[in-house]
């Protein structure tokens, strides 16, 4: 099978290379059309204020805190927090649009929330992540009773300079797709050629047909 495939590509090398070049060029073109996307992240520690210092109470507080991490995620992604973040940013975008640019995740087994912000320039991504973190710290305790929320790490500009939409990967994926399509076209052309050859080999000449009739 591998020998047959190699032979097919060799006989139709022009078509194969043309398909690979077109796909690779298309992938390279896409990287220039689609703007880069930058990501910034800010982390927050969120727990409850302890009301009882007994060991059993502390253990229960830990369990409750871990169970409430999804609640904290929902609060960060709420319209009210987004509205405060919008005011901090002095942005013309709506709270709904800003919410579409963030993602909130909790680290399993910890009390840490991470806010990821993505935007087409790194400075804005940093500002959005920090605005949501600050808005949650300032307003979270009034939404979740006895919540104790502090910023662990703010988003930093220097850590957000690399695009999360890698150009090299897009080009490589396009070239790989071109190779697959090129192989498919080569096999298809080879099959058509073989079919014509067999048809021609087994075709009865017209003169012989008349004699047989």
For residue 163, the model assigns a pLDDT of 78
147 or 7, greater pLDDT: 147
* Judgement on whether residues 13 and 43 belong to the same structural domain of the protein: no
* Judgement on whether residues 181 and 146 belong to the same structural domain of the protein: no
Q: 131, 144, 9: which is closest to 67 by C-alpha?
A: 144
CA 28 from centre of chain:
18
* Judgement on whether residues 56 and 138 belong to the same structural domain of the protein: yes
* Judgement on whether residues 122 and 176 belong to the same structural domain of the protein: no
Mean pLDDT of 178-200: 74
Provide the domain limits for residue 106.
Answer: 38-160
* Judgement on whether residues 153 and 79 belong to the same structural domain of the protein: yes
* Judgement on whether residues 70 and 102 belong to the same structural domain of the protein: yes
Residue identified by tokens 């649009």 is 97
* Judgement on whether residues 14 and 87 belong to the same structural domain of the protein: no
Q: What pTM value is reported for the model? A: 0.65
* Judgement on whether residues 80 and 184 belong to the same structural domain of the protein: no
Structure tokens at 53: 């210092």
Domain of 155: which CATH number?
3.30.70.1130
For residue 9, the model assigns a pLDDT of 64
Secondary structure letter of residue 64 according to DSSP? H
pLDDT in tens, 128-143: 999 999 999 999 888 8
Domains: count for the chain: 2
Mean pLDDT of 140-147: 82
Q: Give the integer Cα–Cα distance in Å for 143 and 63.
A: 20
* Judgement on whether residues 53 and 112 belong to the same structural domain of the protein: yes
Domain's final residue, options 160, 178, 200: 160
Radius of gyration of the chain, Cα coordinates, nearest whole angstrom: 31
* Judgement on whether residues 184 and 201 belong to the same structural domain of the protein: yes
201 or 179, greater pLDDT: 179
For residue 212, the model assigns a pLDDT of 45
Strands (E), the chain: 38-48, 102-106, 112-119, 147-153
Q: Is the pLDDT of residue 64 over 70?
A: no
């Amino acid at each position: 099978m591998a020998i047959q495939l190699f032979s097919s590509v060799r006989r139709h090398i022009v078509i194969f290379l043309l398909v690979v070049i077109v796909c690779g060029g298309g992938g390279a073109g896409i990287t220039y059309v689609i703007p880069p996307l930058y990501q910034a992240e800010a982390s927050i520690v969120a727990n409850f204020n302890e009301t009882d210092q007994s060991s059993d109470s502390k253990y229960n507080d830990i369990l409750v805190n871990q169970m409430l991490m999804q609640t904290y995620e929902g609060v960060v992604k709420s319209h009210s927090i987004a509205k405060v973040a919008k005011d901090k940013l002095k942005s013309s975008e709506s709270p709904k649009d800003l919410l579409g640019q963030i993602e909130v995740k909790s680290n399993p087994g910890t009390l840490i929330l991470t806010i990821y912000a993505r935007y087409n320039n790194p400075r804005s991504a940093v500002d959005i992540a920090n605005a949501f973190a600050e808005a949650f710290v300032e307003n979270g305790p009034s939404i979740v009773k006895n919540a104790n929320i502090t910023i662990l790490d703010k988003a930093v500009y220097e850590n957000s300079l690399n695009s999360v939409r890698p150009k090299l990967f897009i080009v490589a994926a396009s070239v790989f797709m071109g190779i697959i399509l090129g192989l498919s076209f080569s096999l298809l052309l080879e099959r058509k050629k073989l079919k014509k050859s067999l048809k021609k080999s087994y075709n009865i000449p017209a003169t012989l047909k008349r004699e047989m009739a």
